Amino acid sequence: DAGVIQSPRHEVTEMGQEVTLRCKPISGHNSLFWYRQTMMRGLELLIYFNNNVPIDDSGMPEDRFSAKMPNASFSTLKIQPSEPRDSAVYFCASSPGQGATYGYTFGSGTRLTVV
């Protein structure tokens, strides 16, 4: 298996532009998680899906952030409009089951820079 695949690896955009991050989970995993990592705050969970349904989006910072999972093999995280404080590394992770029982596999992340 190729693992969790994220694209792009790096994204540089201007403030106010729309940014879309993409994730392909491991085949057969039915839980998917979006995390954001910064030096100040460490790893923070933004949202997670189970069987393509958003279960908890309480970590999404504000309405500028949205996430979708149209099918079991694809998810997007969109920021519109982007701001410099959104600069961070965004990770996607997947798990075979709901919640924490089976452990998590992470993608390599997308490093986002908003100038």
Q: How far apart are CA 37 and CA 52, in angstroms?
A: 23
CA separation for the pair 34, 57 (Å, rounded): 10
C-alpha distance from residue 66 to each of 19, 28, 76, 79, 82 (Å) = 11, 24, 8, 7, 12
* CA quadruple 35, 46, 115, 40: dihedral, nearest 10: -70
Choice from 18, 56, 61, 84 touching another protein (CB under 8 A): 56
Among 25, 65, 88, 107, binds another protein (CB under 8 A): 107
74 binds another protein (CB under 8 A): no
Kindly indicate which of the ranges 15-23, 62-70, 72-80, 102-110 contains the residues binding another protein, using the contact rule CB under 8 A. 102-110
71 near another protein (CB under 8 A): no
Instruction: Say whether residue 98 binds another protein (CB under 8 A).
Output: yes
Q: Summarize as ranges the residues that interact with another protein (CB under 8 A).
A: 33, 42-43, 45, 48, 56, 91, 93, 98-101, 103-109, 111
